[in-house]
Amino acid sequence: MLLLGKVDAGAAEMKQIIVAEPVHNLGYLPLYIAIDKGFFAKENLDAKILTIESGSGHTNAVLSGQAFAFIGGPEHDAYAKIKGAELRSVVNVVDRGNVYFNAAVGKGPTDRNWPAYFKGKTIEAGVAGGTPNSITRYLLGTWGLDDKKDVTLLESTVAGTLAAVKVGQATIANSAEPILTQGVRQKIWEEPFYSVPKEMGPYAYSTLNVRLDSIQKDPETVRGFVLAVIMGLDFTYEHPAEAAAIAAKEFPTMPPEDVKATLDRTFADALWSHDGSISRQSWATAEKVVRGANILTQDVAYDDIIDMEFLPTKHQ
C-alpha cells in the first residue's frame, strides 16, 4: 500500500523518498500525519509509504536502496551490524513497548507474584520472532521461568490470540490495541493486569532508520526527514482531535470505536515519543529484550546504531 504525500506546484523539484513499514499500523500515526499535513513537503521531500509484510522486508528495502528509511526497532540495525551492514536510527516514534497482558475472564492474578501466577499456564505470545513474543520470553526469563518447561507458549496471529483465549486454549494473552479492547468488549479477557509501557518505561520500540551511507552522503535529506517526523509527533500531541480524524481517514475500514480505543490508550500510556529522541535507556531496554530472547546474539553499542545529530538542539 502506498500513501501519497501532499504535493504542490514545486513537487517536481522535491526529492522523492520511500519509507518502508512492516505493516500498516495505527501506532505509526505521527509518521502518517507528517505526510498528510505536508511536513515533509516543507522540507522539500515527497514522502511515500511502502508496506512490506514479510518479516525483514522493510529492513532489506533500505539495505538494497529500494527505500530511504524503514520504521522498526533499532535491533534491526543491530542485526544488520553483526552481518556487516551499517544502518542508523535517526528519530524515534514509539518510545514504549506496545504490549499488554490480559487474563481470561475470572482467571486474573490476585497479586503481583508474577512467577507464581504465570507458572504452569498457557500463554498466547504472538508470532515467533515478533517483538511482542520476544518481550514475553524476556519477562519469563526475568521471573526465573523457563519458556519451554514452566509455561506453554502458543504463537498465533492476532486473530488466533482472541480465538485461543475464547475457547479456553490459553489463559493469558499478549495483546495490543485494537484487539485488546475487542477482547474486553467480547468478555473474552479482562483489562490488562500487566502493562509493558508502564512497567518497562522508555523502550525504543519503533524508530526510523536509514543507511549510514545516507547520513554521510546526503545529510540534508536526513535532517529534513527528521524534522518532518518531529513535526508529526508535535502535531499529534498538540491536536489530538485532528490526529484522530486523520487516523480515521488513514484506516477507513477500522471500526470507529477501535480507532478511539487505540488512540485513547496510546495517549494515556504516552506510547509516542514527545521529541523524537532515542535515549540510551530506551536502547538498553530494547537490547535486553532481544538478547534475553536469544534473537540478538551479541551486545551492540548505542553509538554503533543510533545517531541523534539531526535532532533540533532543544531535543538533544
pLDDT at 127: 84
Cβ neighbour number for residue 34 with a 10 Å cutoff: 30
Q: What is the CATH number of the domain that holds 228?
A: 3.40.190.10
Instruction: Give the list of residues 6+ apart from residue 280 with CB closer than 8 angstroms, or none.
Output: 302
pLDDT at 314: 61
Q: Are 226 and 168 contained in the same domain?
A: no
Cα dihedral 277/282/286/214 (nearest 10): 20
Contact between 240 and 263 under an 8 Å Cβ cutoff? The reply is yes
Q: Are 304 and 211 contained in the same domain?
A: yes
Question: Which residues are 207's β-sheet partners?
Answer: 72, 92
One digit per residue, the tens of pLDDT, for the chain of length 316 reads 344 444 444 445 899 999 999 888 899 999 999 999 999 999 999 999 999 876 688 999 999 999 999 999 999 999 999 999 999 999 999 999 999 999 999 999 999 999 999 999 999 998 887 888 999 999 999 999 999 999 999 998 888 899 999 999 999 999 999 999 999 999 999 999 999 999 999 999 999 999 999 999 999 999 999 999 999 999 999 999 999 999 999 999 999 999 999 999 999 999 999 999 999 999 999 999 999 888 899 999 999 999 999 999 765 5
Distance of CA 126 to the CA centre of its chain: 14
154: nearest Cα among 168, 141, 142:
168
Q: Are 250 and 118 contained in the same domain?
A: no
Q: Are 92 and 207 contained in the same domain?
A: yes
Cα gap 182→161, rounded to integer Å: 11
The number of distinct structural domains making up the chain is 2
Domain with 17 in it? 2-97+202-315
Q: Are 248 and 283 contained in the same domain?
A: yes
Cα gap 229→69, rounded to integer Å: 12
Q: Are 82 and 206 contained in the same domain?
A: yes
pLDDT at 158: 81
Contact between 289 and 139 under an 8 Å Cβ cutoff? The reply is no
Express the helix, strand and coil content of the chain in percent, nearest 5 each.
Answer: 45, 20, 35
Q: Are 83 and 107 contained in the same domain?
A: no
pTM score of the predicted model: 0.88
